[in-house]
């Protein structure tokens, strides 16, 4: 491997580690933020289990990336939790405030959801592999676009 390939691999590794750390923070923030807006204890349990599962999954992938093993595979697998968050975050936030019977759908336009989505897409680009932000952008525009 020449020096340019080593530098690119190191940058991808660093970018993936930042992206995974942001995903862990996002999952924890989702669970903690949901505590103040929940409707039922089952809802809190569901969000806590999902956030814990995402965190554990990302920690395992982080370990592989940190030790520079299966970097490309771990990079693609690390996009799955972000896709999950991008697809289900609008539903979680909207149902936590009452859903269609209490709040109009335009409510989601007034939240910071688009900013978080764009931030997740931007951070995934730190790995210098164009496929990562493309995967997240496709998920956001396919499933999240009707919410914004």
pLDDT at 148 over 60: no
- Give the whole-angstrom CA distance, residue 59 versus residue 21: 9
Domain interval for residue 98: 3-147
Q: What percent of the chain has pLDDT over 90?
A: 41
What 8-state DSSP symbol labels residue 129?
-
Give the pLDDT of residue 22. Answer: 92
Instruction: For residue 92, give Cα distances in angstroms to 16, 29, 97, 120, 147.
Output: 26, 13, 9, 17, 12
Give the number of domains in the chain: 1
pLDDT at 44 over 70: yes
In terms of pLDDT, which residue wins out, 95 or 15?
15
Question: Per-residue pLDDT averaged across 71-83, rounded?
Answer: 92
In terms of pLDDT, which residue wins out, 110 or 121?
121
* Per-residue three-class SS string for 57-120: HHHHHHHHHHCCCCHHHHHHHCHHHHHHHHHHHHHHHHHHCCHHHCCCHHHHHHCCHHHHHHHH
pTM for this one? 0.82
Torsion angle defined by CA atoms of residues 96, 98, 103 and 107, in that order, rounded to the nearest 10 degrees: 0
- Give the whole-angstrom CA distance, residue 43 versus residue 95: 10
pLDDT at 139 over 90: no
Mean pLDDT of the chain: 84
């Amino acid at each position: 491997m020449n020096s340019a390939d080593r530098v690119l691999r190191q940058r991808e590794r660093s970018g993936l580690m930042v992206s995974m750390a942001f995903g862990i923070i996002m999952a924890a923030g989702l669970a903690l933020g949901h505590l103040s807006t929940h409707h039922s204890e089952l809802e809190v349990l569901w969000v806590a289990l999902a956030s814990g599962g995402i965190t554990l999954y990302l920690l395992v992938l982080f370990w592989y990336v940190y030790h520079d093993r299966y970097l490309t595979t771990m990079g693609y697998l690390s996009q799955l939790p972000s896709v999950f968050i991008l697809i289900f975050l609008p539903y979680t936030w909207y149902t936590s405030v009452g859903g269609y019977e209490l709040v109009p759908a335009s409510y989601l336009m007034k939240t910071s959801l688009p900013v978080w989505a764009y931030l997740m897409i931007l951070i995934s680009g730190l790995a210098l592999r164009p496929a990562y932000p493309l995967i997240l952008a496709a998920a956001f525009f396919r499933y999240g676009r009707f919410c914004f």
